[in-house]
Structure 1
Amino acid sequence: MVPVPYRDILTALRRLWWLPLLTLFLGGLAGYAFSAASTPLYTSSMQLFVSTTEARTATDFVQGSQFSQERVASYAQLLMGEELASRVNENLGLDMEPAVLAGKITATPVPSTVLIDVEVTDTSGSRARDIAGQLGSDFIEMVRVLETTPGASAPVRVTVVEGPSFHTAPSFPNTRRNIALGMALGLPLGLGLVVARTRLDRSVRDPETVGDLAGAPVIGMIMQDPVLDKQHVFDRTSTSPAAEGYRRLTTNLQFIDVDEPPRTIMISSAIPGEGKTTLTLNLAIALAEAGRQVAVVEADLRRPRVTRYLGMVSGVGLTNVLAGTAELNEVLQDYGDGSLSILAAGPLPPNPSQLLSSTQMKSLMEELATKNDFVLVDAPPVLPVADATSLAVFTDGVLLSVRYGFTRKDLVRRTAAALEQVGAKTLGVVLNVVPPRAEVSSGYGYRYDPGSTARAARHRWRRERTGTAPE
């Protein structure tokens, strides 16, 4: 099993710091719940001393001590036997089976001594004390009878030297100990889950890893923005981190190859749901904002989204031009001030791959390139269908949208291999939908305070309404 690098574990801990805390809390809660659900048990303890009755000389004392130590182990077994339990049960008038009562008694010889520690555990503290007291009395009598021989006194005497004790607090469960034990088990469990999740997580989170897998640099990082989730395009006056990310991407894109900058760019992803269409539209808006003439081609002929996101007509477009039923200038739609034009998908055909790989498509791309500074093609995902790889050869390069924490590493590798197989050039990778609190955002200067952004928006609204600057 390949070990997880410490750097990845530390990164995961910063991202999943709440998981060990959660298991720590749940462990303590489980310990408390166990204590609350357990029946309280009370323990009464006492100590018995075993001695010989006939000892006059030092030798007698030594021999008597050895004799008593030999008896102690046997006496401990008698204390936990059913015979003695039956006597205690009868004398106390308990309605309890002797075996059950015997199970409540624990007798332990103290090593190298003539002492026996006895504990009685019961659901009632006072009953445990009564059982222990009666147990001592009945055991003393039992020993006297067992050790007495005809015509002689018993050579051994048992004396209760301590107890029986009485405790108002239960000996079981120990709530504090159980809570501490639960927390002690919960914390490493949470840490283990973090490590396991790190080991099992195959999604892309690191720009360097993405670049290595795709064989192209990460040229942009787009922050997650709830406005884009709903509207899909940012306002040209927006200063949100996502909008600034698209503007930075515009600058980086123009400097990919200074001698021969790419003009026709296919934008795609490994699988659906990685934000490629949103990336296409907002990159086009940012380029138009920078004074460039841009055309967007809705070439995803299976699940077109461009016109729907922009609220434009989708009835005629690319497929009509490729089929020869319409001219390009008849189906182009302007968006905004005219520096951005949209070529909708048109009617969805039964053979998208054949249309996108046709000579008509190649001619169309060349025509659009002569009339625009940039042509952005919103293509289908690379892996599910062959449409994107067929279309990629007609463009100057491919821009891959990779969604942070969503796209798997193996999918990025397979996408790069598929593009390389047809000779397409991967211009770069855009790490998309990056959470504002992600570790990588700080390294790229994207981390921001959502509260400050909200306050800035309120200040702008106040200025527009009152015409005054905020304090």
Structure 2
Amino acid sequence: MGHRKKRSREYDSALVALHQPHSPIVEQYRTIRTNIEFSSFEKPFRSLLITSGLPGEGKSFSAANLAVVFSQQEKKVLLIDADLRKPATHKIFHLDNRFGVTNILMGKSCLDHVVQHSEAENLDVLTSGPIPPNPAELLSSQAMEELLKEANEQYDLVLLDSPPLLPVADTQILANYVDGSILVILSGKTKLDNALKSREILSSSKSELLGAVLNGRKVKKARQYNSYK
């Protein structure tokens, strides 16, 4: 286990599902959780990928809070930061990122040695580790498939915070390793063409596209919420 990082105020409000459990935002994440469970009623999903078309649309925020609400059902959950270019999960959870996914994929460590416990009960986090020069090659390796297989054996649910779809090919690779995928769209920012192109990419993968999370939409009293379609 790594040492926890010094807290950063920038991310102090990110884990609303943990620190503000009665907020409207968290209620929407619970609704998303319920919809996912209904979608996989006959055959429960064991691994889910959360992504967006472009950076800055809230995928890491959504992945972290979905991981928390799933863990609150007493499921053993693992959140993997598979964004090996611009990782954020360690900042959201205030965890050390000296060791993580890249160390495992390069054969320098194993899952049990680098996974970290989070503040949320039943939720473990595997941070990205050091940023490598060849993210796509590492993610498409046999080692990545073996990592996910091991994670699926140890946890009830594995969530992947993946890179944005449109700038790089990383997520197209990862989407073939998981059971389902979710697209995060930022209200007022995500262009329709980009959303449609992202949907097309995910739909062509081996995983099932479950829907989209609308992030940052303003409602009454200037509150923010996320919705699942």
The equivalent position to 1:280 in structure 2, one of 54, 57, 63, is 63
User: Helix, strand or coil for the counterpart of 1:302?
Assistant: coil
Equivalent residue letter for 2:190? T
| CA positional deviation for 1:422 | 3.6
The equivalent position to 2:149 in structure 1, one of 366, 388, 399, is 366
Q: Which residue of 2 aligns with 1:122?
A: none
User: Helix, strand or coil for the counterpart of 2:39?
Assistant: coil
The equivalent position to 2:37 in structure 1, one of 254, 260, 279, is 254
Q: Distance in 2 between matches of 1:337 and 1:379?
A: 21
Equivalent residue letter for 1:393? N
| CA positional deviation for 1:424 | 3.6
- For the 8 Å contact 1:236–1:289, the answer to whether it is kept is no
Q: Distance in 2 between matches of 1:250 and 1:432?
A: 15
Structure 1 position 404 matched with structure 2 position 225: no
Matches within 5 A, 1:150-169: none
- For the 8 Å contact 2:102–2:128, the answer to whether it is kept is yes
User: Helix, strand or coil for the counterpart of 1:242?
Assistant: helix
Q: Distance in 1 between matches of 2:87 and 2:23?
A: 27
Q: Distance in 1 between matches of 2:178 and 2:200?
A: 17
- For the 8 Å contact 2:53–2:198, the answer to whether it is kept is yes
Matches within 5 A, 1:191-230: none
Q: Distance in 2 between matches of 1:420 and 1:431?
A: 18
The equivalent position to 2:167 in structure 1, one of 381, 384, 387, is 384
Q: Distance in 1 between matches of 2:89 and 2:173?
A: 20
Q: Which residue of 1 aligns with 2:87?
A: 304
The equivalent position to 1:317 in structure 2, one of 100, 103, 107, is 100
- For the 8 Å contact 2:45–2:179, the answer to whether it is kept is yes
Relative to the length of structure 1, the TM-score reads 0.44
1:229–1:382 distance in 2 versus 1, CA, 3 Å: same
Q: Distance in 2 between matches of 1:363 and 1:327?
A: 11
Question: Which stretches of structure 1, 4 residues or more, deviate above 4 A after TM superposition?
Answer: 227-230
User: Helix, strand or coil for the counterpart of 1:255?
Assistant: helix
Identify the structure with bigger relative contact order (alpha carbons < 8 Å, sequence gap 6+). Answer: 2
Q: Distance in 2 between matches of 1:389 and 1:347?
A: 22
Equivalent residue letter for 1:231? S
Q: Which residue of 2 aligns with 1:232?
A: 14
Q: Distance in 1 between matches of 2:147 and 2:207?
A: 18
| CA positional deviation for 1:379 | 0.1
1:237–1:421 distance in 2 versus 1, CA, 3 Å: closer
User: Helix, strand or coil for the counterpart of 1:231?
Assistant: coil
1:241–1:229 distance in 2 versus 1, CA, 3 Å: farther
| CA positional deviation for 1:250 | 1.4
- For the 8 Å contact 1:269–1:382, the answer to whether it is kept is yes
Report how many residues are paired: 215
Q: Distance in 1 between matches of 2:171 and 2:180?
A: 12
Relative to the length of structure 2, the TM-score reads 0.88
User: Helix, strand or coil for the counterpart of 1:254?
Assistant: helix
Q: Distance in 1 between matches of 2:208 and 2:98?
A: 32
Structure 1 position 415 matched with structure 2 position 198: yes
| CA positional deviation for 1:437 | 3.5
Q: Distance in 2 between matches of 1:377 and 1:358?
A: 16
Please say which structure displays the higher CA radius of gyration.
1
